[in-house]
Amino acid sequence: MKLSIDSPTLSPSFAIGLRFAAVALLAVLLAIPLGLVSCVADDRKEHYDRAARKVADSFGREVRVAGPVLVIPLEQRATEDQEKRPRQLFVMPERLDMSIDSEHVTRRVGIFEIPALKAAVVAEGGFPALDVDALATAHGPLDLDRAAVAFYISDSRGVLDAELQWNDREPPLQMGSALLRAAIADPAAGGAFALTVGLRGTGRLAAVPVGDHSTVTMTSSWPHPSFDGRFLPDTHDISDAGFNATWRTSRLARGFRSLEIAESYDFYIHNDLGFKLYDPVTLYVLVSRSVKYGVLFVVLTLVSVLCLELASGRRFHVVQYGVAGLGLVLFFLVLLALAEHIRFGWAYLGAAAVLTGMMGAYTRGVTRQWRITAMAVTMLGGLYGVLFVLLRLEDFALLAGVGVLLLALGMLMWVTRRLTPGARPPAPDAA
């Protein structure tokens, strides 16, 4: 004798229990193709990252600027191993007012669009007068003839133009491996400076507040800054059109002294502040997030179909459940393929429309009933809409997801409220 889930020899409550168990097992098995879709998404993300590195190699990597700083060579002194090492006196400005105005641009590599930025840096301030005799007594003779104003730039490939004014003069600038330098006369007397630099790069924009009193202002057309570095902005304003932010720091917090003796500039260039070109809803972030919600989406759909069975009295074969589940998994692959060529919203709409249409036609062919077909299409379309809302949310995604789960649990409770074997419905309360 053959027994099936719908066998008349099984009690109705036991048959329904088997159907729930079969749906649960099917949901677990569908996690395997969902994992394969996730692997495909990760592989495409690697292609995107390679394209981003290619753009960075030619357009410029992250942009970090530091300075200007007054650099005066000192007499070389022999160390314990009798090797003479170059020493330099680094003088920080008393005041630094820096403004950085940037706009984001895109560079295309194949089918990938990589965000980049162009920035105009304006730095103004002044250096104090130096007590040359006291410094020479403490550290050795100063080579004032080779003194220079230096401005650190993390990637020289991103330098577009630069101009320096020093005490109303315009000394010529020269670019080294990472330093923009200009020789100056009479550095001991101090002086005022005004520096303008045009830059471009990718990924991140940052500045080091080297002044004893520094004010750094950044404005950008990028609407999703991720502020990072040693300091967070004192004030900021973010909108869809971009952002502006202001930092104010003093010598007590910047991490180095106003006068430093060092062999190179490494001691001050990492204490920076700035932002990353972060996008919380990029294509691969959204696809990866949608695949993470995939198991939940598949489970909710299968449970909804099972509830539809219980409410309508129409039974579906377990193979038909499997075909429907594979269609749900295929949605994420269709979404990824479309989103690489068109905007994510349109890609999502297209993938949802195609899979909803196919599932609707399949339901009509199985049930031969328009009412059940309409219910299935409405249910699937609603779930696609809920998933899209969850993907677009960032701070409230968990809260919304929990709300969906509670709603699904409530629907399941309502449908299964009369499945207790051998029990009669309770009598209504007396008026």
Which residue, 279, 296, 331, sits at the end of a domain? Answer: 279
Q: Which residues of 308-346 are buried (b: 16+ CB within 10 A; e: fewer)?
A: bbbeeeeebeeebbeebbebbbbbbbbbbebbbeeebee
Whole-angstrom distance, CA of residue 97 vs CA of residue 195: 11
Whole-angstrom distance, CA of residue 385 vs CA of residue 393: 13
pLDDT for 173-211, tens place per residue?
998 878 899 999 888 888 899 999 999 999 899 999 999
What number is the average pLDDT over the span 370-378?
82
426 lies in a domain? no
Residues 232 and 268 in one domain: yes
Residues 198 and 261 in one domain: yes
pLDDT for 244-279, tens place per residue?
999 999 999 988 999 999 888 888 888 899 999 876
Which residue, 231, 249, 279, sits at the end of a domain? Answer: 279
According to the model, what pLDDT value does residue 18 have? Answer: 73
3 lies in a domain? no
227 lies in a domain? yes
With a pLDDT cut of 90, the percent of the chain lying above it is: 30
Residues 20 and 114 in one domain: no
423 lies in a domain? no
Residues 309 and 408 in one domain: yes
Residues 93 and 234 in one domain: yes
Range of the domain at 404: 12-46+284-415
Residues 191 and 224 in one domain: yes
Q: Which residues of 41-54 are buried (b: 16+ CB within 10 A; e: fewer)?
A: beebbeebeebbee
According to the model, what pLDDT value does residue 26 have? Answer: 78
425 lies in a domain? no
Which residue, 279, 295, 323, sits at the end of a domain? Answer: 279
Residues 294 and 388 in one domain: yes
Residues 198 and 263 in one domain: yes
* Residue 89, CB-side half-sphere exposure with 13 Å CA sphere: 24
Residues 314 and 259 in one domain: no
| Total of domains in the chain | 2
Residues 255 and 109 in one domain: yes
